[in-house]
Structure 1
């Protein structure tokens, strides 16, 4: 037997928090050694934090990263263990995203990333250059103070592997390289590399984890090997939530893995395995023939033995998988946990005293409030388990002294200290929404305020009347569309002003210090359609549901009703989504969001995915939907829906430039400046595109009689 214990980890790093990041790295190495590990792997760019963005173009970021690495090289924790650590490095005046492999105070290898993540949320080519010399290395001359620490003038820099004193070989690949068609682990495994590390900065997205897991399992299933996957966890200063799920995989089987959602600062995953299992898995004839022809990697040695000198010690067994079958959270659970963990990081790292939410009585603000409730539940669970970081953060934000005995173990009691809600009604608001807001706040434990804004609305309207002599009216009272829209927007924008006033002064009114962060509640579909008022109460500090579709939010509320034992949530599901900004007309019909938008929320989700994920313009979108909806809707009706969506999206696109930063959850997030890089001034009539749609619609047969337009399946 050739037994080795290895460790991978997930760390709650924070961009540019060099001291804090260093402490978490050292803690993870210490935990790994306590468990007998001789190899430790950490997340991508763990020293500066993955989300530094354009700070990677600053020399300071590399300099401070070297300073932190110097501390690690000299630490007791990093002795007698091989550590794979991530940081940016400038080589020959070019920026590289690197792994630095160290052992016993020496740098064994600097391995630059070869394939960059450069779509969706990622812009690595803006900050780094890929290493374009496979299986080649060059000399990298170390900074003077690092030379004094290691006694080395130059170290190998490039695509190579590492040979340990007990004749094992370690190979490195970085995050995106796993997702490429010709991944480095293929060539490394054929060259005899037994252990492959992958350091990642992979974010959470609904329904995404399974793709990552299957790729990691496949990486060793065909050609054998031990694969160590490390990932960042938490919010590191951006809108992404990194969801951990670090794992150790042997020959396609998961031996151990970390949590996907937790409030832990440091989480280390270890396993003890017999390397002989790798060699046994590789005995197939076809694999041996390909290996014999495979080109070799340069190898650089270290004096560390991964078996710790105990290679044949009896009585140490292979780690058994604590999760015999990989389990995945449902999308509803992901919504409950991902944004809640992100909100906790944002709250504690911004060093504010809590959140303020305009609670309208509708399902969107209800979902936001329920996610905050989930956050409070996670805090209470962590405090009950003795998580000292969570306890310390909770005491600080609630104004408790450091030596206090306060423990945030009751979610409702903790919510009352840090979560503030406000119903801002007008004469157009209903008693039902007011009651729903009050009942929900009570169920969560929030500090709730109820007010009417009619005086403020009248005052603003009066200014206009005083200056112009004109008295605008709602449409139901005979007013024009312009009057109707302006009167609605007065209410919406005043709610933003009042919301920020209460967020800044409510703690003071309660005899506390500090301020509150304002939460927004515009879902991804409304943002995509532009169904929101610019600078209204959708304008906030952060928005936990801005990347979630209305369809998924409804499913989440249905899940939370039972999971959180909150029957009040049923009334939100049963209510018609309404802005309540206009008086009820003579027909007593409630203002309906879907009627005003001219499309359903289910349809909006389809439009969003086709536009962003499947990269459809108006014409190709129409072509796909004719196939999907053609048995229920006439070609002309589908054309009308597609053109209406694109027209409304185009004329409201400017609103996307002012969207409140939201937790990224959906692949078609419309966050303009960070994710969806498209113009905001469009030729909104799309004359060429729409004319082609009309021509095709006229030529296609109408197959909709089979089902009828009311039965179109659009989800």
Structure 2
């Protein structure tokens, strides 16, 4: 037998596109004479349908697509396709097992993901262990439940994504029922280094349960925030025998194993977080661009680390996409085939595409430095992006004078520091939005997670945007990633960015403003946020965890922890208003996907009072 896993880049409710991907993959599978292919979880409707799962028509549409569109293409092959299904007035997350054009079994998920970015308990019901019933739809009946399926030389059991991560997992029972092939259709979100944990799970499961284990994950940015890396793995009795390229720009991938090749073995995955970040955000931007049918991106390029990172990631989106898809398919997927003739005449197509897809602007004030202007200009030039430069001092002065006339006093840096900083950031917003509207493009906001923690950002200023690609990653990572990108990705003009100390450049130049002076060292901020936000520790517990670390002396540590918690609690309203962001790390601060926190609270008043007295 030839057994395969397949990944799919799906879109919620895209019945034509989603079924086309499945049918195309089935056609290729039959050409390769595969016997069994496992598609990912909820592959017909896509995983990210959110509260549309509550509707009574969605699951019916999925079932109709399965039986009317997909089944006719399954003659001569067995496959597994994921879909939601209502049975006895409850919604279940099911894997449909199809053999030679006939729907044989429906196997529901037994354990629901309900942490981090997952809210499955909101919509689905977990299927009871060992329960087997009959599902009826349009006068046809199908077996539904905790089934072991006999197919050729195999006894097949299922673990659907979260099922495999529980201590009391289905595999414990499946082994006792003689199962020697476990299929795991998944919708497991991307996070840095997560593939290593999945690999360990799959390989160890195949050894522990003495079976062949097939894992197939969804691919791409299907619904806006979560990224799926499209991982496919097949392991047999403790050996990884099949593994694919992650984060592909293609519509689908197939990886298979011919079980006559008993000595086959795949290379184990070795994590490189810099490359993972590069490929994950590039793919997410590509899918966001094409699925929103936008004309490109607009970016306020300040010459700092954050906006430079966003510019590089758009550039990498183009380079990786062209390398993997080729020019023709790349343009087809972004709905720009009319560019073909012009681009083919250019020796560097990626530069021509960058000029069309990325427009940048350096918006200076009297507080801006020449070094940041040069850093922005040179980076845009190297990428090939459009670069504009305008000064906003007139706008800032107009706003300031109106307020001064009505307050009947001048604004001063001694009394009005925050207001004078923020008006500069806000004055930049209307004109960059105007440019995005003119281009019918997505406006990129450059906020990072560290800024989101402490509210070090101006609402309706530098937070303005349609998409926030780096809002789920910390500033310390970004600073180090840019140094890596300068050499590893050969962006020579990043040297101008990497020489600069991060600064908002909103105070007069003689004040020599830097972000870390305003806040705290970024490395220290990262360690505090991991303990406070990811691990939910109290201020005293954070201090106890870090007081013996070499990261800061005890005075700076205590001062920084108090500042962090004060700013964190004060700025939840800002996090509620941030543009949609990609989930990239083991945690993030987006209240819509990972971290819900009250807008109003006591601000850890008692806990911080204890910390101030703590030794």
Output the TM-score relative to the length of structure 2.
0.96
* Alignment pair present for 1:201 and 2:187: yes
Instruction: Please give the alpha-carbon distance, in whole angstroms, between the structure 2 residues aligned to 1:45 and 1:163.
Output: 23
**2:393 corresponds to:** 454
**Aligned counterpart for 2:429 among listed residues 496, 517, 524:** 496
CA contact (8 A) 1:383 1:408 kept: no
Residue-by-residue CA offset, 1:490-541 (whole Å, 9 max, x unaligned): 1101112111011122x4xxxxxxx111001111111111111111122211
**Aligned counterpart for 2:10 among listed residues 13, 20, 43:** 13
Instruction: Please give the alpha-carbon distance, in whole angstroms, between the structure 2 residues aligned to 1:399 and 1:73.
Output: 33
**1:663 corresponds to:** 582
**1:135 corresponds to:** 130
Instruction: Please give the alpha-carbon distance, in whole angstroms, between the structure 1 residues aligned to 2:418 and 2:342.
Output: 54
Moved more, 573-582 or 354-363: 573-582
Q: CA deviation at 1:262?
A: 1.6
Q: Return 5+ residue gaps in structure 2 as ranges.
A: none
CA contact (8 A) 1:15 1:236 kept: yes
* Alignment pair present for 1:561 and 2:556: no
Instruction: Please give the alpha-carbon distance, in whole angstroms, between the structure 2 residues aligned to 1:351 and 1:407.
Output: 25
Q: CA deviation at 1:237?
A: 1.2
CA contact (8 A) 2:196 2:269 kept: no
CA contact (8 A) 1:197 1:227 kept: yes
Instruction: Report matched runs for 1:55-94 at 5 Å.
Output: 55-75=52-72, 77-94=73-90
Equivalent position SS for 2:83? strand
Q: CA deviation at 1:633?
A: 2.4
CA contact (8 A) 1:186 1:219 kept: no
Question: 1:638–1:558: structure 2 CA closer, same or farther, 3 Å change rule?
Answer: closer
CA contact (8 A) 1:392 1:402 kept: no
* Alignment pair present for 1:674 and 2:593: yes
Instruction: Please give the alpha-carbon distance, in whole angstroms, between the structure 2 residues aligned to 1:205 and 1:667.
Output: 6
Residue-by-residue CA offset, 1:680-700 (whole Å, 9 max, x unaligned): 21212x232123323432xxx
**1:687 corresponds to:** 605
Question: 1:408–1:376: structure 2 CA closer, same or farther, 3 Å change rule?
Answer: farther
Instruction: Please give the alpha-carbon distance, in whole angstroms, between the structure 1 residues aligned to 2:549 and 2:53.
Output: 45
CA contact (8 A) 1:609 1:667 kept: no
Instruction: Report matched runs for 1:181-200 at 5 Å.
Output: 181-200=167-186
Instruction: Please give the alpha-carbon distance, in whole angstroms, between the structure 2 residues aligned to 1:196 and 1:682.
Output: 48
* Alignment pair present for 1:109 and 2:105: yes
Instruction: Please give the alpha-carbon distance, in whole angstroms, between the structure 2 residues aligned to 1:261 and 1:559.
Output: 20
**2:383 corresponds to:** 444
CA contact (8 A) 1:73 1:104 kept: no
**1:390 corresponds to:** 330
Instruction: Please give the alpha-carbon distance, in whole angstroms, between the structure 2 residues aligned to 1:682 and 1:562.
Output: 46
Question: 1:563–1:637: structure 2 CA closer, same or farther, 3 Å change rule?
Answer: closer
Instruction: Please give the alpha-carbon distance, in whole angstroms, between the structure 2 residues aligned to 1:406 and 1:38.
Output: 45
**2:239 corresponds to:** 253
Question: 1:486–1:404: structure 2 CA closer, same or farther, 3 Å change rule?
Answer: closer
Output the TM-score relative to the length of structure 1.
0.83
CA contact (8 A) 2:22 2:70 kept: no
Q: CA deviation at 1:627?
A: 4.3
Instruction: Please give the alpha-carbon distance, in whole angstroms, between the structure 2 residues aligned to 1:405 and 1:437.
Output: 28
* Alignment pair present for 1:528 and 2:453: yes
Aligned residues: 615
Question: 1:402–1:24: structure 2 CA closer, same or farther, 3 Å change rule?
Answer: farther
**1:463 corresponds to:** 402
Instruction: Please give the alpha-carbon distance, in whole angstroms, between the structure 2 residues aligned to 1:63 and 1:8.
Output: 26
Instruction: Report matched runs for 1:30-49 at 5 Å.
Output: 30-49=27-46
Instruction: Please give the alpha-carbon distance, in whole angstroms, between the structure 1 residues aligned to 2:263 and 2:130.
Output: 33
**1:228 corresponds to:** 214
CA contact (8 A) 2:199 2:269 kept: no
Question: 1:491–1:628: structure 2 CA closer, same or farther, 3 Å change rule?
Answer: same
Residue-by-residue CA offset, 1:258-308 (whole Å, 9 max, x unaligned): 22122010101111014xxxxxxxxxxxxxxxxxxxxxxxxxxxxxxxxxx
Equivalent position SS for 2:127? coil
Residue-by-residue CA offset, 1:75-114 (whole Å, 9 max, x unaligned): 2x20121111100000100011111111233221111100
Instruction: Please give the alpha-carbon distance, in whole angstroms, between the structure 1 residues aligned to 2:226 and 2:475.
Output: 20
Question: 1:409–1:123: structure 2 CA closer, same or farther, 3 Å change rule?
Answer: farther
Moved more, 614-623 or 201-210: 614-623
CA contact (8 A) 1:83 1:102 kept: yes
Question: 1:409–1:318: structure 2 CA closer, same or farther, 3 Å change rule?
Answer: farther
Residue-by-residue CA offset, 1:628-657 (whole Å, 9 max, x unaligned): 459x623x5433221121011111221111
Equivalent position SS for 1:55? helix
* Alignment pair present for 1:582 and 2:487: no
Q: CA deviation at 1:407?
A: 9.3
Bigger CA radius of gyration: 1
Question: 1:352–1:551: structure 2 CA closer, same or farther, 3 Å change rule?
Answer: same
Instruction: Please give the alpha-carbon distance, in whole angstroms, between the structure 1 residues aligned to 2:149 and 2:85.
Output: 20
**2:513 corresponds to:** 591
Instruction: Report matched runs for 1:114-513 at 5 Å.
Output: 114-132=110-128, 134-141=129-136, 143-144=137-138, 147=139, 153-164=140-151, 166-274=152-260, 317-318=261-262, 320-321=264-265, 323=266, 325-384=267-326, 389-394=329-334, 396-397=335-336, 399-400=338-339, 410-473=349-412, 475=413, 479-480=414-415, 483-505=416-438, 507=439
Equivalent position SS for 2:156? strand
Instruction: Please give the alpha-carbon distance, in whole angstroms, between the structure 2 residues aligned to 1:680 and 1:522.
Output: 20
